[in-house]
Amino acid sequence: LTLAQKARDKEGEAEAQAGLGEANLALGKTEDALSWLKKAQGSYQALGDEDQGQVLTARIEKITEKIKQ
């Protein structure tokens, strides 16, 4: 993430944020995971990548539903 930020690589930054979200989810850190995934979602939307933004929206909704169960 830091390398992408230093290089001003916005797509790399979004990918890193999504990866951190998935890693936190695998570690059972659901709130941290959602935070990273929401950051990634915003980054992709800022880039105009609606497809990836929608993928993350669906992922966030799925995780949120599991929390409620």
Residues 24, 16: contact at Cβ < 8 Å? no
Q: What percent of the chain is helix, strand and coil (3-state, nearest 5)?
A: 85, 0, 15
Give the predicted TM-score (pTM) of the model: 0.88
- The pLDDT of residue 3 is above 90: no
pLDDT digits (tens, 9 = 90+) for 25-35: 999 999 999 99
CB atoms within 10 A of CB 37: 22
- The pLDDT assigned to 1 comes to 82
Which of the pair, 20 or 4, is modelled with greater confidence?
Answer: 20
